[in-house]
Amino acid sequence: MRVVIAEDLFLLRDGLTRMLEAYGLHVTAAVDNGPDLLAAVTKDQPDVAIVDVRLPPTFTDEGLRAALAARTEVPGLPVLVLSQYVEQLYARELLACGTGGIGYLLKDRVLNSAQFTDAVRRVAAGGTAMDPEVIARLLDHSSADRAVATLSPREREVLGLMAEGRSNAAIAQQLVITERAVAKHTASIFLRLGLQPSDDDNRRVLAVLAYLGR
């Protein structure tokens, strides 16, 4: 799997490259600014681009803009955005730009390399990886929603993991329950929230995120 990285801090860029290589992912280019990222994705056509939100020269949301620009340059390019902090606002902007192949994670998540590379692979395959903190705040925001309030604690947990973009198998593993139990929970959640059930993982995630973000 081919990866392009855009991260301005050398230590992080280097560490990220080494970690991904150790997990068998091939880093074709590691750059430190937006224009270089655009050049690298058009030249290398990677499977996924990992981009830091803060990039020079303004060190504001340059990386986010570069990521969105890269996605218009190479349509459908999976993008995983990393940040020192997460904002629902940015999550929405990313989700609004095409369907699938979107990730938005706190930089802390690279400390758990197995889960992180798993998220990279998921995004590369066209899936979604939303940071648990984004999802926690989305759930908080929806706490006044009557349908969400009727969910059991276990169903809320499943809903959260589903919104992060995890598959049924991954949810089952995380909660130490069977996949059939997860399927039962998801069916119940979709019924309560009045959503169309779907076998397609990605469409399911987007429906849930759209519902919570209302």
Partner 1 sequence: MSNKVAALGAGARRRGPWSWTSEGVAAAGHGLALAGLALAGAALLIALAAGLALLVRLPAYSGPTSHGGLLRLLFIAVVIPGSLLCIRRLAGLTRSLAGKWCGVPIAVPYRPMPGGEGASPWSLLRRCLRWLLADPATWRDLLWMAAGACVGLVLAAAPAVLVLAGLRTMTTLHPFAHPFSAASGAWPAFPHAAVLAIPLGLAAVAAGLWSGPRLLAVYGLFARTMLGPTRQADLAQRVDHLALTRSESIDTGAAEMRRIERDLHDGAQARLIAMGMALDAADQLLDTSPAAARALLAEARESSIKALSELRGLVRGIHPPVLADRGLAEAVRALALDMPLRVHFDSELPGRAPAPAESAAYFAASELMANVSKHAEASQAWVEIRHGSGMLRVSVTDDGNGGADPARGTGLRGIERRLAAFDGVLAVSSPPGGPTVVNMEIPCALSSPKTSSC
Contact between 156 and partner 1 by CB under 8 A: the answer reads: no
Question: How near is the Cβ of 41 to partner 1 at its closest, in Å?
Answer: 14
| Residue in the block written with tokens 């081919």 | 2
Contact between 68 and partner 1 by CB under 8 A: the answer reads: yes
- Which strands make up the sheet holding 26-31, listed edge to edge? 26-31, 2-6, 48-52, 79-83, 102-106, 128-130
As a whole number of angstroms, the distance between CA 162 and CA 141 comes to 17
Under the phi-then-psi rule, with left for phi > 0, alpha for psi from -120 to 50, and beta for the rest, what region is 194?
Answer: left
Site string for partner 1, 70-99 (x = CB under 8 A): --------------xx-xxxx-x-------
Nearer to partner 1, 69 or 195 (CB): 69
Site string for partner 1, 34-53 (x = CB under 8 A): x-------------------
CA distances for 114 relative to 20, 22, 140, 142, 146, angstroms? 10, 11, 28, 30, 37
Tokens at 171, concatenated: 């949810």
As a whole number of angstroms, the distance between CA 123 and CA 127 comes to 5
Question: How near is the Cβ of 205 to partner 1 at its closest, in Å?
Answer: 19
Question: How near is the Cβ of 112 to partner 1 at its closest, in Å?
Answer: 8
Number of other residues whose CB lies within 10 A of the CB of residue 20: 23
Contact between 22 and partner 1 by CB under 8 A: the answer reads: no
- Give the range of 60-68, 119-127, 159-167, 196-204 binding partner 1 by CB under 8 A: 60-68
Nearer to partner 1, 5 or 134 (CB): 134
Contact between 140 and partner 1 by CB under 8 A: the answer reads: yes
Among 23, 28, 33, 65, which residue interacts with partner 1 (rule: CB under 8 A)?
Answer: 65
- Residues 6 and 28: beta-carbon distance below 8 Å: no
Nearer to partner 1, 86 or 124 (CB): 86
Contact between 16 and partner 1 by CB under 8 A: the answer reads: no
Q: Which residues contact 38 (CB under 8 A, 6 or more apart)?
A: 66, 69, 70, 73
CA distances for 88 relative to 6, 23, 62, 67, 113, angstroms? 22, 30, 17, 17, 24
Nearer to partner 1, 149 or 191 (CB): 149
Residues found near partner 1 in the complex (CB under 8 A): 34, 54, 60-61, 65-66, 68-69, 84-85, 87-90, 92, 107-108, 111-112, 137, 140-141, 143-144
